[in-house]
């Protein structure tokens, strides 16, 4: 069995590669280190590519930009994968405003290139698209909230377990990143419903883990822990630092992808995140991180929030658990942060030894 993974040097892509390699699958990864272009040297993922090449026997790395339509068509025709996991993206809603063409061409057109290649050469192979909760725009901010000591919380009992898949996406501000991801999300659904292909969109919350190369514009929890370990200032943008996110370990994401590929559906959508149990505010993340590093968080406060940023968001996991009862969250928020802290301390320690 062969799997083709885009963004294979990124957090989710690399985790999926390792997970399926452990299952005995042949692994093909697509990655051209575009993250370093979007975010500079701190976003470089070549280290993760080298890690995959060391850990996975026979790993095939394909240095292709997903915007290269002919290249993608040729590769999918050649490999004819038994499954495709599409995790490559321009992932920052802040960065998108300054590179609108690159953002849309990567997120929307790149997804179309892959879908059409799959339709032509392996239409029965499950296609899993890593979407985002940003498809809901800032609409969650219109919900009544309660301000607690360290976080915002939903006031309406309807949302006690979080945002479900039927939450509206219209009449809201998405950021250009959110808009390009909506386009990709809808077309993935359409290829499933119109052509009968086994596709799904995973509308992720904060996907994280020890192999995440978090930067300020993307990768909230990883970047926060990195700042703590380095003793660098972390900037809070608005909402008193009480904005809430649900965090899911990349291993749990990979476990769900496995379940979907074993029993695929057509044109499905799932909100995937840590759910309420794995949610935290920035202020709460500071305190949990301190448990594992022993360091107080150095931070400053910017009174203006990021455009389209959610005040409170966590995923309602009822649908995903109902459709796939063998899947559930297996790694807690505290354990996730412990692993991230340990990874950053080890990674930064190695860098200091090299200087």
Q: pLDDT digit string (tens) for 59-81?
A: 999 999 999 999 999 999 999 99
pLDDT category at 355 given cuts 50, 70, 90 is very low
**Assigned CATH for 2-354:** 3.40.50.720
Please name the residue that has the structure tokens 């993935």: 188
**pLDDT the model gives residue 44:** 86
The predicted model gives 289-302 an average pLDDT of: 97
Q: Which of 353, 348, 34, 316 is nearest to 210 (CA)?
A: 348
**% of the chain at pLDDT higher than 90:** 86
Given a cut of 90, whether residue 113 has pLDDT beyond it is: yes
Predicted pLDDT at 28: 98
Residue 102 DSSP SS3 = helix
Better-scored residue on pLDDT, 118 or 308: 118
All residues at 6 or more sequence positions from 161 whose CB lies less than 8 Å from its CB, including other chains: 275, 276, 316, 317, 318
Q: In degrees rounded to 5, what are phi and psi of residue 214?
A: -65, 140
pLDDT at 4: 99
Percent above pLDDT 70 for the chain: 98
Chain segment 211-267, per-residue pLDDT in tens: 887 778 777 899 999 999 999 999 999 999 999 999 999 999 999 999 999 999 999
Whole-model pTM: value is: 0.94
Read off the pLDDT of each residue in 334-342 and give the average, rounded to a whole number.
97
| pLDDT tops 60 at residue 354 | no
pLDDT of residue 145: 98
User: What pLDDT does residue 117 have?
Assistant: 98
Q: Which two tokens stand for residue 40?
A: 């500079």
Give the model's pLDDT for residue 352.
52
Q: How confident is the model at residue 93 (pLDDT cuts 50, 70, 90)?
A: confident
Average pLDDT rounded to a whole number, residues 280-295 = 97
| For residues 311-334, average pLDDT | 98
pLDDT of the residue at 214: 77
- Report domain extents, the chain: 2-354
State residue 353's pLDDT score.
39
Could you give the CA distance from residue 8 to residue 66 in angstroms, rounded to a whole number? 12
Q: Which residue(s) pair with 302 in the sheet?
A: 237
- pLDDT-wise least confident of 41-50, 131-140, 170-179, 314-323: 41-50
Q: In whole numbers, what is the pLDDT of the chain averaged over residues?
A: 94
As a whole number of angstroms, the distance between CA 244 and CA 143 comes to 14
Q: Is 32 helix (H, G, I), strand (E, B) or coil?
A: coil
């Amino acid at each position: 069995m062969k799997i083709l993974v885009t963004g294979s040097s990124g957090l989710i892509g690399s985790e999926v590669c390792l997970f399926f390699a452990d299952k005995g699958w042949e692994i093909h990864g697509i990655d051209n280190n575009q993250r370093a272009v979007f975010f500079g040297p701190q976003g470089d993922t070549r280290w993760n590519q080298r890690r995959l090449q060391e850990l996975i026997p026979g790993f095939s790395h394909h240095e292709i930009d997903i915007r290269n339509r002919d290249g993608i068509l040729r590769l999918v025709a050649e490999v004819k994968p038994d499954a495709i996991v599409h995790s490559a993206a321009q992932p920052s809603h802040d960065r998108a405003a300054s590179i609108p063409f690159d953002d849309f061409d990567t997120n929307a057109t790149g997804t179309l290139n892959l879908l059409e290649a799959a339709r032509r050469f392996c239409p029965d192979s499950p296609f899993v698209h890593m979407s985002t909760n940003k498809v809901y725009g800032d609409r969650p901010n219109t919900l009544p909230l309660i301000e607690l000591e360290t976080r915002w919380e939903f006031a309406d009992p309807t949302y006690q377990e979080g945002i479900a898949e039927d939450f509206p996406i219209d009449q809201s501000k998405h950021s250009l990143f959110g808009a390009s991801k909506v386009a990709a999300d809808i077309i993935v659904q359409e290829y499933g419903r119109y052509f009968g292909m086994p596709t799904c969109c995973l509308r992720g919350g904060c996907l994280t883990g020890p192999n995440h190369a978090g930067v300020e514009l993307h990768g909230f929890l990883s970047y926060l822990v990195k700042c703590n370990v380095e003793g660098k200032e972390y900037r809070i943008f608005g909402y008193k630092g009480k904005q809430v996110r649900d965090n899911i370990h990349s291993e749990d994401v990979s476990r769900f992808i496995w379940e979907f590929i074993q029993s695929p559906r057509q044109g499905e959508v799932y909100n995937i995140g840590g759910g309420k149990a794995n949610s935290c505010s920035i202020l709460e993340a500071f305190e949990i991180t301190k448990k594992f590093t022993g360091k107080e968080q150095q931070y400053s406060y910017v009174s203006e929030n990021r455009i389209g940023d959610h005040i409170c968001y966590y995923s309602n996991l009822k649908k995903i658990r109902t459709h796939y009862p063998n899947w559930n969250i297996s790694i807690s928020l505290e354990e996730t942060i412990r692993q991230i802290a340990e990874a950053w301390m080890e990674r930064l320690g190695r860098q200091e030894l090299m200087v």
